[in-house]
């Protein structure tokens, strides 16, 4: 990905100086800094846990709707399954 940054002259000079000192490019320095400061990507398990927390509810109507949706999903998966054995008895 290409990204253009508008840096003030003082910061640009510091970046250039640091790149020269390290014997690398300005882009490499910026990438290193971003990797160090940006949060790591969440694992799939972390994302699912976050979704479960976000979707928590105690609303009886919503809980009933979710149960109906789950039952319909199971029924559809059982119907589409290639053997007579149900995936979700």
CA atoms of 27 and 38, how far apart (whole Å):
16
Name every residue whose Cβ is closer than 8 Å to that of residue 34 and which is 6 or more positions away in sequence: none
Treating both helix axes as pointing N-terminal to C-terminal, what angle do 26-37 and 9-22 enclose, rounded to 10 degrees? 100
Q: Dihedral through CA 56, CA 62, CA 63, CA 69, nearest 10?
A: -110
Tell me the average pLDDT across 51-75: 94
Where residue 1 falls among pLDDT bands split at 50, 70, 90?
Answer: confident
**pLDDT tens, residue by residue, 8-21:** 999 999 999 999 99
């Amino acid at each position: 990905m290409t990204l253009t940054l508008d840096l003030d002259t003082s910061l640009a000079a510091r970046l250039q100086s640091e790149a020269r000192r390290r014997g690398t490019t300005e882009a490499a320095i910026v990438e290193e800094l971003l990797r160090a400061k940006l949060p790591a990507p969440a694992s799939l398990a972390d994302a699912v846990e976050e979704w479960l927390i976000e979707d928590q509810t105690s609303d009886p109507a919503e809980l009933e709707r979710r149960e109906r949706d789950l039952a319909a999903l199971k029924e559809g998966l059982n119907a589409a399954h290639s053997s007579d054995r149900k995936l979700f008895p």
